[in-house]
A = this chain, B = another copy of it.
C-alpha cells in the first residue's frame, strides 16, 4: 500500500502558490525536487502521479503539463518544465536559495553541471534499469528480468561508483564542492532507490557511505520525510531479496 505523504500538508497552502509539482516519492528525481521544496518551504500544490499504477501515461492533467510523461514536472503559473536537474536549478535561482545549492561562480557552477549531465548515462543508467527489470517488472507482470540489460547496468553501476569516489568526491566533502548542492541531491536520491529492496549500494564503500550520511544530515529532517514511502516498502519487505 502506498503511503500518502500527509506530512507535506504542513508546508502547503495551494491558494498562496501557483506552483504545481507532479511527483511520485518512488521516483528518485522526484524525491530530489521534493526535498529542495521542503527544505526551503517553497509553497506548491502536490500532484501525486502514481507511476506504479501507470498514471504518468493515463493522467490527463499530467499529459497537458508534461510532454515527456516523466516525473517530476512543474507548472509554475503556466510555465511548464520537466527534467529534475532543470527544475532544481530553476527553483534555486527563482527563490534565490543559498549559493551553495547552485553556485553563481562560473567554474564552481560548471563542476556542478558536470555531475548533473554525467548523472543521466551513468549513476541513473546503473540503477534505474536494474530496479525496473529485477524488482518492479517481475512484481507487476511476473515476467523474468532482461538479463542483458541487467548485466549492462551492473557494469555501468560498478564504474559509476568508482568514479564518484575517485573523481567527484576525491578532494571535496560533497560532489565537486565543499558544500552540498543539487548535484548531491540528484545523486543521493538515485542511490536510495536500492533501499526499496533493502539493499545498500554503498555498504562496502566507506567514502561513499560517509558522503551519503553527510547528505542525510544536511538534508534532515526533509530527507527522511520524503523517503517515508521508501522506508515503508523496505520495512514491509515488499521487494526483499529481489535485487
Contact = CB atoms under 8 A, between A and B. Distances in A.
Smallest CB-CB A-B distances: 3 pairs: A120-B120, A67-B167, A86-B113
A146 to B, nearest CB: 7
A66 to B, nearest CB: 9
A82 B89 CA distance: 19
Interface string A149-184: 100100000000001001100000000000000000
Contacts of A106: 90, 93-94
A113 B89 contact: yes
Number of copies: 2
Contact of A152 (B79, B81, B107, B149): B149
A83 interface: yes
Nearest to A66: B167
A114 B85 CA distance: 8
A184 to B, nearest CB: 16
A118 B149 contact: no
A52 B116 CA distance: 27
A110 B90 CA distance: 6
Nearest to A82: B114
Nearest to A79: B107
Contact of A117 (B67, B86, B148): B86
B114 A117 contact: no
A195 B163 CA distance: 33
A163 B69 CA distance: 11
Interface in A187-214: none
Contacts of A118: 68, 82-83
Contacts of A83: 113-114, 117-118
A121 interface: yes
A134 interface: no
A114 B114 CA distance: 15
> Which of A86, A149, A163, A167 counts the most B-chain CB atoms under 10 A from its CB?
A86
